[in-house]
């Protein structure tokens, strides 16, 4: 997710510069011991009742050494809707999710809710032994809340847009002999999922265009979705979407956007920013893992810039949706930042899996760094397009001055030797601070200092090693730091690490 700031350093570098011109092998973290190999999902969207009817079959595989009799399925929609009932009562006082049955080959299984009703403790018909698989099926209905959020719907232009995420049941994460999960966090994410394969049949009225994780095809109101090696499933549907397409290094980009005063500008700049970001991050880190990238526009609340999923990103288009007013300069600056940030998450969260609740600095801080300090400091066609749309002059000389200023600021920060801890879990963030302060802004500074202290060549070699080592796996902050020290274990680098990282949270 991208949280918008009142102060932007480098993505807003155009505005800034025009107004301020003076080893050893590292072992990867194993996949979960109990893992979902496949999800077969049948999902029907009722646009009159704003409700999902779901049948979800999860194939559970025991990759561990010990038998298990019980598995935990997360129906995270319970936590989402509970939050909405409390904080957005006007439209959502009655929203709920109801599980009707959990079964195996047509035979009902017993299950109990945990203290958090998002957790279903399902008793299997027999012990699931090492190497064995078991398919369990859930049938449920889930209301879609009326809200400008990653799970919710909005009325727009005489139609509707549905964001469908954080609403599908999934297998909890099982490691070290226990089921691991986190409560729903509205300000952050609570995901920590191994990759799986999704086979989805999604039904919506024929007038709806559908974007989704994975490859999809639509016929007569049925969208067939196939997603391999994905950590999550997200679907966006609207009867007001327009769609345009582009390619970047063979990757198909599908841009789903809404009509507005300057929708053509939104469409062009979004696609070009995605193209540039994909090419740049491919080069700096490693190959994008999927064949397609879907981008969807949505009128998020004013503090949210976008949201990330494997092969799909949601982007706030608020600055471009006014029927009468043209977008201001800030809208263009926000748009390139939003797109680049969410594209970066395809590497940091989608491909390299981390625990977003306990270590958000690893995904959000990294995406912020690649948005501002990599994309934001690189000459690209999208940055040129942005300046033309803003009617601002930004020359190569200005860009070089911006890079020079950036390096000078970061060297000064390293010299100042200030301590700012970034690796707090979401439930341990100190009073007076929030996730945006720590996991985004300050974490970006940590990566800035590492890059400048190590030098770009060494730093990006480490990033490429990190990507190869944990490609489609799950990892931790401790393992990331092991990679960094493999390439630079100097006193300066270790001092930077100690200034930002508290060992007790690793």
pLDDT in tens, 104-114: 999 999 999 99
- Residue 294 domain-assigned (yes or no): no
Confidence of residue 8 (pLDDT cuts 50, 70, 90): very low
Q: Among candidates 32, 56, 57, 31, which has minimal Cα distance to 44?
A: 56
13 pLDDT above the threshold of 70: no
Rounded Cα distance, 77 and 414, in Å: 43
Closest CA to 65 of 143, 142, 175: 175
Q: What is the C-alpha to C-alpha distance for residues 199 and 214, in angstroms, rounded to an integer?
A: 9
Residues in the chain: 506
Tell me, yes or no, whether 209 lies in a domain. no
- Torsion angle, CA of 231/235/236/241, rounded to 10 degrees? 110
On whether the CB atoms of residues 54 and 63 are closer than 8 A, the answer is: no
Which pairs with CB-CB distance under 8 Å and at least 24 residues apart come from 297-302?
Answer: 297/256, 297/257, 297/258, 297/266, 297/270, 297/321, 298/148, 298/154, 298/161, 298/163, 298/236, 299/148, 299/154, 299/156, 299/161, 300/148, 300/149, 301/148, 301/149, 302/4
Average pLDDT over residues 364-385: 97
In a domain, 156, yes or no: yes
pLDDT digits (tens, 9 = 90+) for 381-417: 999 999 999 999 999 999 999 999 999 999 999 999 9
What's the CATH code of the domain at 167?
A: 2.60.40
The mean pLDDT of 302-306, rounded to a whole number, is 90
**Number of domains making up the chain:** 1
Q: Token pair of 19, please?
A: 């107004």
Per-residue pLDDT band for 303 (boundaries 50, 70, 90) equals confident
What pLDDT, on the 0 to 100 scale, is given for residue 128?
96
Which residues lie below 8 Å from residue 451, measured CB to CB, with a gap of 6+?
373, 410, 459
pLDDT band at 454 (very low <50, low <70, confident <90, very high): very high
Q: What per-residue confidence (pLDDT) applies to 30? A: 62
**Domain presence at residue 170:** yes
Task: Give the whole-angstrom CA distance, residue 411 versus residue 166.
Answer: 41
- Give the count of beta carbons closer than 10 Å to the beta carbon of residue 502: 13
DSSP state of 136: E
| b/e per residue 283-312 (b: at least 16 CB within 10 A) | ebbbebbbebbbbbbbbbeeebbbbbbbbb
The predicted pLDDT at position 18 comes to: 36
> How much is the mean pLDDT over the chain?
93
Residue 5 above 60 pLDDT? no
Confidence band for 176, pLDDT divided at 50, 70 and 90: confident
Q: Is residue 450 part of a domain?
A: no
pLDDT at 173: 93
Question: pLDDT value at position 450?
Answer: 98
Strand order in the sheet with 119-128: 111-113, 119-128, 68-74, 170-171
SS3 state of residue 427: helix
- Which residues make Cβ contacts (< 8 Å) with residue 123, sequence separation at least 6? 69, 70, 109, 110, 111
**What tokens appear for 15 in the block?**
């505005």
Q: What is the pLDDT of residue 273?
A: 98
Of the pLDDT bands very low, low, confident and very high (cuts 50, 70, 90), residue 11 is very low
Least confident interval from 68-72, 128-132, 322-326, 418-422: 322-326
- pLDDT for the residue 23: 35
Is residue 130 in some structural domain? Answer: yes
How far apart (Å, rounded) are the C-alpha atoms in residues 365 and 447? 8
| DSSP 8-state code for residue 499 | H
Query: Residue 29: its pLDDT value, please?
Result: 57
The verdict on residue 11 lying in a domain is no
> 113: domain range?
34-193
| Cβ(337)–Cβ(372) below 8 Å | yes
In a domain, 311, yes or no: no
Higher pLDDT, 197 or 7: 197
Region 202-206: mean pLDDT is 97
Mean pLDDT computed over 163-170: 98
Distance of CA 220 to the CA centre of its chain: 30
Among residues 131, 122, 204, the alpha carbon closest in space to that of 162 is found at: 204
Which of 360-364's residues contact partners 24+ apart within 8 Å by CB, and which partners? 360/188, 360/189, 360/426, 360/435, 360/439, 360/443, 361/422, 361/423, 361/438, 361/439, 361/443, 361/446, 361/477, 362/475, 362/476, 362/477, 362/480, 364/1, 364/188, 364/435, 364/439, 364/440, 364/443
Mean pLDDT of 420-436: 92
Give percent above pLDDT 70 in the chain. Answer: 95
Q: For residues 163 and 21, what is the distance between their CA atoms, to the nearest angstrom?
A: 42
Q: Which of 126, 307, 135 is nearest to 232 (CA)?
A: 307
Q: Spell out a b/e string for 253-264, using b for 16 or more CB atoms within 10 Å of the CB, else e.
A: bbbbbbbbbbbe
Distance CA 300, CA 279 (A): 27
């Amino acid at each position: 997710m991208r949280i918008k700031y009142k102060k932007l350093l480098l993505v807003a570098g155009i505005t800034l510069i025009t107004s301020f011109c003076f080893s050893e092998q590292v072992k990867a973290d194993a996949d979960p011991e109990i893992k979902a190999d496949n999800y077969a999902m049948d999902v029907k969207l009722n646009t009159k009742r704003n409700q999902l009817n779901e049948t979800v079959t999860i194939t559970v595989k025991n990759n561990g050494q010990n038998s298990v009799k019980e598995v935990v399925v997360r129906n995270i929609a319970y936590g989402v809707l509970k939050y909405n009932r409390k904080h957005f009562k006007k439209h959502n006082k009655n929203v709920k999710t109801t599980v009707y049955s959990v079964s195996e080959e047509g035979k009902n299984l017993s299950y109990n809710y945990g203290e958090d009703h998002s957790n279903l403790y399902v008793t299997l018909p027999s012990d699931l032994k090492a190497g064995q698989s078991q398919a369990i099926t859930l049938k449920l209905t889930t209301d879609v809340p009326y809200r400008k959020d990653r799970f919710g719907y909005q009325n727009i232009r005489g139609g509707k847009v549905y964001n469908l995420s954080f609403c599908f049941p999934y297998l909890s994460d099982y490691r070290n002999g226990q089921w691991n999960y986190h409560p729903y966090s509205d300000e952050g994410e609570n995901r920590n999922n191994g990759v799986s394969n999704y086979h989805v049949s999604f039904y919506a009225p024929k007038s709806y265009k559908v974007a989704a994780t994975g490859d999809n095809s639509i016929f007569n109101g049925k969208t067939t979705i196939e997603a391999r090696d994905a950590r999550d499933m997200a679907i966006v549907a609207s009867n007001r979407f327009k769609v345009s397409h582009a390619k970047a290094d063979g990757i198909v980009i599908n841009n789903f956007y809404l009509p507005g005063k300057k929708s053509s500008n939104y469409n062009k700049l979004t696609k070009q920013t995605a193209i540039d970001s994909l090419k740049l991050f491919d080069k700096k880190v490693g190959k994008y893992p999927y064949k397609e990238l879907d981008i969807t526009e949505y009128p998020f609340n004013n503090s949210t810039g976008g949201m990330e999923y494997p092969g799909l990103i949601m982007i706030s288009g608020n600055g471009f949706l006014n029927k009468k007013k043209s977008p201001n300069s800030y809208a263009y600056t926000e748009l390139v930042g939003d797109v680049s940030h969410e594209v970066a998450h395809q590497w940091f969260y989608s491909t390299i899996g981390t625990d977003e609740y306990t270590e958000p600095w690893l995904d959000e801080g990294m995406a912020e760094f690649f948005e501002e300090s990599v994309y934001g400091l690189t000459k690209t066609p999208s940055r040129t397009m942005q300046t033309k749309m803003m009617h601002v002059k930004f020359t190569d000389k200005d860009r070089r001055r911006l890079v020079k200023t950036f390096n000078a600021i970061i060297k000064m920060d390293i010299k100042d030797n200030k301590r700012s801890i970034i690796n707090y879990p979401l439930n341990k963030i100190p009073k007076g601070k929030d996730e945006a302060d720590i996991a985004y802004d300050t974490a970006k500074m940590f990566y800035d200092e590492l890059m400048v202290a190590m030098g770009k060549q060494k730093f990006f070699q480490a990033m490429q090693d990190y990507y190869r080592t944990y490609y489609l796996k799950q990892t931790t902050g401790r393992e990331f730091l092991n990679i960094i020290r493999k390439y630079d274990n100097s006193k300066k680098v270790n001092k930077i690490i100690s200034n930002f990282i508290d060992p007790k949270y690793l």
